[in-house]
Structure 1
């Protein structure tokens, strides 16, 4: 019986640890989404520039 009990407690510990790490991820994600949106905006800008230059090259 003791084995199954420790197994259950370890599963519970895993679940608690996962919840805590998820909370940490959420906190980190708030800061990340801001930087990610900035990066994404820059990437979109660069892609637009590239597309324009490719378009201009095709016209030549």
Structure 2
């Protein structure tokens, strides 16, 4: 029974530490990225190769 209480306390401690780290990162505006959505449309899409024509030309 003691090990269950110990594991419960340990897991809750780790969860609270990660929650505090997440809240700190959000308040520090680490997840704010206003520039990338504006330039995302400028990136070229990868061209799709026509596999069917390649296979037919090899036969």
The TM-score normalised by the length of structure 1 is 0.50
Match 1:38 to one of 32, 35, 46 = 35
Aligned residues: 44
How much has 1:5 moved relative to structure 2? 1.6
The one of the two structures with greater contact order (alpha-carbon pairs below 8 A, sep at least 6) is 2
Calculate the aligned-residue CA RMSD, in Å: 2.2
Q: From the two aligned structures, give the one with the greater helix fraction.
A: 1
Structure 2, unpaired ranges of 5+: 45-59
Larger Rg: 2
Structure 1, unpaired ranges of 5+: 51-60
Q: 4+ residue runs of structure 1 moved beyond 3 angstroms?
A: none
CA distance in 2, matches of 1:32, 1:16: 20
